[in-house]
Amino acid sequence: MQINFAPAAASDAAIVALPVEKDGLARTIWGAIDGATLAAKAAAAARFTGEAGSIVELFVAQGDTVRQVLLVGVGAGGETEWEKAGGALVAKLLTSGATAVTVDLAGTPDKPTAKALARFAAAATQRAWRYDQYRTKLAETAKPTLETVTIAGAPEGIDAAWATQDAVTRGMDLTRWLVATPPNILYPESFVEKVTAEVEGLGLEITVIDEDQMAEFGMGALLGVSQGSRREARILALKWNGAGADAPTLALVGKGVTFDTGGISIKGAAGMEDMKWDMGGAGAVAGAMKALAARKAKVNVIGVMGLVENMPDGNAQRPGDVVTSMSGQTIEVINTDAEGRLVLCDCITWVQKTHSPATIVDLATLTGAMIVALGHEHGGIFANDDMLADQLLAAGRASGDLLWRFPLAPAYDKLIDSPIADIKNVGPRGAGSITAAQFIQRFVDTGVKWAHLDIAGMVWADKAGPNYDKGATGYGVRLLDKFVADNFER
């Protein structure tokens, strides 16, 4: 999707969109559009009130021809309302046969801020994202036609605001591609190839760790997950030094299980195809690192992605096995389907030993219990530091990638004590998301601020949202970018 900014709308624009604030129809300036009075009455008859994301489509006479006019509700005019409007406009026109639309701000009495308008443009671009590469018989009427959104009369500062949102959108595109791609195409090695190709030229320092190196490091937890697959595991680390030569102050760590059968503790067949997106945490980290590098963020940060495939062959890890993590802690594997925490613990230990970040945020599609608790409206957050939790919650509200905090406590920690090892990888049925977080916390060094984001319900959607269609959402990229911008950039 091409976004253009123009000083004024072209007089011959065939399709014009007019933003309208809540209850602001009477104040809308129609400009050169003929039949404005009748059109306004038609919109009112359709009960259009300017609610954010609502649209009324009108056709008005324009000389010897007809002009299509879309009234697009922007609600109270805040950033999130403009974002809803941008997504709704593209959803309406994407496969309509239209190739271009002009958004004319001349008729909007209360002009949006540059940031709000950039969110509008970003949502328009994000909502246009599709994954059609394997659809060979797509009907012509189902193919996207909309190519250009021109925004006329943008406020001062739009170029800088759009540059930031464009970088985030490109990061989301990468995340969505990774999440949507089938597991016979995307596996640890091809994940590395795709991401490294996508970030080439952005100035990121790339480290790839193979299984031989993992064995030398003593990563028995991660390697135990991988041992049932013929696809070798990888760790991919992307380091961005945007604030000088100092060590990274922040580490982002993502679970990247490119397909999860559950291993010997095999999942039920119904819905197992969804487990192609069990690498959504790693996908979010990859997209966020691309966004930060693309906009030249003034921060030092490292993104670490633990990439494995969890399969049930004759060499697969068994329930009852004991493995030794890189930290030296031993783990009794009770359930091989609780594999994500085994991947994360070794990645967290590695980044602490090699880069000593003061703050770690990990992201993982970790537990089905999180979906039971929160559905698909919020990701869960656990943190050992209240300020860090508040910063992430605030970033979630501002970006639209919402979070809800859950507790950590010694009482839960006792539920994962093992009678034969230092820790077991699952507790009882109750509090499954909490005990998973308690497990990860045991691998965080003293004094390190840490947050765990369980995003199991957020990386994939069965219905369209404000800035995505059904499928991969790109969740986490906007959240991490906003978190970094507000709390770490110099």
Catalytic residues: 267, 341
Contact 425, 342 (CB under 8 A): yes
Cα–Cα distance for residue pair 202/294, rounded to 1 Å: 6
Contact 103, 150 (CB under 8 A): yes
Task: Provide the b/e sequence for 30-62 (b: ≥16 CB within 10 Å).
Answer: beebebbeebbebbeeeebbbbbbbbbebebeb
Q: What tokens appear for 93 in the block?
A: 């026109």
Q: What letter represents residue 260's amino acid?
A: D
Helix (H) or strand (E) holding 171: helix 158-180
Q: What tokens appear for 185 in the block?
A: 């195409």
- In 406-476, alpha helices (H): 410-413, 432-441
CA-based max dimension of the chain: 85
Q: What letter represents residue 216's amino acid?
A: E
Residue 450: which of 394, 403, 383, 390 has the closest Cα?
383
How far is CA 5 from each of CA 36, 101, 205, 266, rounded to the nearest angstrom? 25, 12, 34, 52
* Phi (first) and psi of residue 167, to 5 degrees: -65, -45
Cα–Cα distance for residue pair 150/140, rounded to 1 Å: 25
Cα–Cα distance for residue pair 255/235, rounded to 1 Å: 10
* Phi (first) and psi of residue 473, to 5 degrees: -95, -25
Q: First CA to last CA across the chain, in angstroms?
A: 32
